[in-house]
Amino acid sequence: MMDLDKVSLWGSVLTELQLALSGANFQTWFRGKTAILNIENGVVEVGCASAYNKIWIEERYQGTIKEILDRVTGINTALTFSVSSQVQTQEKTRKKPKEALSVPLFEEDPGPSLQKSFKVAAVSQHYSFSNFIVGQSNQLAYAVGKAVADYPAGRYNPLLVYGGVGVGKTHLLQAIGQSFLIRNPDAKALYISSETFTNDMVEAIQKKQTIIFREKYRNLDLLLVDDVQFIAGRESTQEQFFHTFNELHAKSKQIVLSCDRDPSELSNLEERLKNRFVGGMVAKIDPPDLELREAILLAKAKRLGLSIEFPLIKLLAVQLGSSIRELEGALLRVAAVARLTNTKIDRETIKTAIGLQKQGKKTAAQVLERVASYFSLPVAVLKGTSRSREHVFPRQVAMYLLRKASNKSFYEIARRFNDKDHTTVIYSVNKVENMVENDTEIARIVEELKSGIFNN
Ligand code: ADP
Ligand code: MG
């Protein structure tokens, strides 16, 4: 043991860790940021580049590291962790001087030709697999997403990922597109939202260019359609989409779709499309759990160049909800507050920033719009008098949100709904309150709406 070279021992630990962790986690916490400083009597001292790194690694990876070390050395090791400027210097000299991101998107510039294929495909450089942080809630979607990028039109065709607002669906679709193009620079890929698809189609019909439209979509090797829930209820779009889908599928081309809910819950989606959508692989992305929220906050804080101590990261992660977009927003606010007050980031800064975030209240009209689009209903129907179940529930939820989230009076709310009786509003608010308490699915929907309303 004493004779073991520290560098090569750590090298083998890193190799195993790299296999066990996602690319982003590995790069964020380990690569170039850790080393063995000392080995004595079975005690291995692991040096970490920063206090951040140290706490993070100690809390999350201690067990895994020990397991690997025990296996490699054949003895029962004990671990200690320390912050060492030595590691940091090594890291700094290795990195390119101007690099601000902790997680490089590209080891090198993608180059003009790849950049061009990204552009044609509407794929951004910024959403990659390597900066997609993996936790329990998204690991299935991540794994099948990678498989699709590596082996398109293989086992998972189509791939449909679904989940609520801000859980990373768009990021994942983009990463699939990016990784696919890096591997197949000459292939044709296209990322598109279902709304753009609809607009394209309408325009093509108006300009009598349907042949061009068909060519554009049906000659692709990879088609990524984001937010397919928006085509529900649109007949001619569904028709076109159905044919596009079939043709690509028949030619063994990969299709990837995202949806904001389980497609079986889309009441206005044609049965035949529903069947197609779920005919391959379906992966759900759940809201991030606390651990993933912490990991994301840490990684993004680093990326923003913010120095926030770990307990404060925890405070943010505990206080903030289920949307990753919300976490990003909170960090930006923290940065802004710190800059404005010219202070170091502390408990107060975080509290102020969270307060600002929660205050970012929306007008009643915005709340109604949001709810309407969530349930794929026109706002007029939401405000209307229809008694059908499909309309009543969203209407009650909208009333509930107006009451709870923006603190409007019952009378005020009633006025928003074509002057209904305010007792109807009271009844609705109580009803939804009850449902939220007793039905986790409804609680989830309401949570999702709330986070969507207050963080966009
Ligand atoms: P959705 O499409 O599901 O509403 P997005 O993909 O737009 O959500 O994600 C919202 C934001 O959160 C984006 O900036 C995205 O980069 C970021 N994000 C989502 N998931 C992750 C993740 N696992 N790791 C890092 N960033 C993430
Ligand atoms: Mg999205």
pLDDT bin (cut points 50, 70, 90) of residue 197 is very high
pLDDT for 304 beyond 90: no
pLDDT bin (cut points 50, 70, 90) of residue 227 is very high
Q: What is the pLDDT of residue 76?
A: 82
Ligand showing the shortest atom-to-Cα distance for residue 131: 1
Q: Which atom of ligand 1 is nearest to the CA of 227?
A: 2
pLDDT tens readout for residues 157-168? 999 999 998 899
256 neighbors 176 (Cβ within 8 angstroms): yes
pLDDT bin (cut points 50, 70, 90) of residue 357 is low
pLDDT tens readout for residues 260-274? 999 998 888 999 999
Q: Which atom of ligand 1 is nearest to the CA of 126?
A: 16
CA dihedral 108, 109, 111, 115 (to 10 degrees): 130
C-alpha 385 – ligand 2 centre gap (Å): 32
CA dihedral 288, 334, 451, 321 (to 10 degrees): 40
Q: What is the pLDDT of residue 149?
A: 96
Query: Residue 1 corresponds to which tokens in the numbers above?
Result: 């043991």
Ligand showing the shortest atom-to-Cα distance for residue 165: 1
Count of CB atoms within 10 A of residue 343's CB?
11
Peptide bond into 288 cis (omega under 30): no
pLDDT bin (cut points 50, 70, 90) of residue 88 is low
C-alpha 21 – ligand 1 centre gap (Å): 19
Would the pTM of this model clear 0.85, i.e. be above it?
A: no
Q: What is the pLDDT of residue 284?
A: 96
CA–CA distance, 423 with 407 (Å, rounded to integer): 16
CA–CA distance, 164 with 449 (Å, rounded to integer): 9
- Return the residue whose CA atom lies nearest to atom 19 of ligand 1: 168
pLDDT bin (cut points 50, 70, 90) of residue 346 is confident
pLDDT tens readout for residues 129-180? 999 999 999 999 999 999 999 999 999 999 999 999 889 999 999 999 999 9
Q: Which atom of ligand 1 is nearest to the CA of 327?
A: 12
150 neighbors 254 (Cβ within 8 angstroms): no
Rounded percentage of the chain residues whose pLDDT exceeds 90: 39
pLDDT for 113 beyond 50: yes
C-alpha 226 – ligand 2 centre gap (Å): 7
C-alpha 455 – ligand 2 centre gap (Å): 14
133 neighbors 171 (Cβ within 8 angstroms): no
Q: Which atom of ligand 1 is nearest to the CA of 174?
A: 6
Q: What is the pLDDT of residue 437?
A: 85
pLDDT tens readout for residues 358-396? 655 467 788 888 899 888 889 999 999 888 888 999 999
Half-sphere exposure of 291 (CA within 13 A, CB side): 11
Report the alpha-carbon angle 201-207-210, nearest 5: 50
C-alpha 166 – ligand 2 centre gap (Å): 7
Q: What is the pLDDT of residue 329?
A: 82
Ligand 1, CB cutoff 6 Å, lining residues: 127, 131-133, 138, 163, 165-171, 296, 324-325, 328
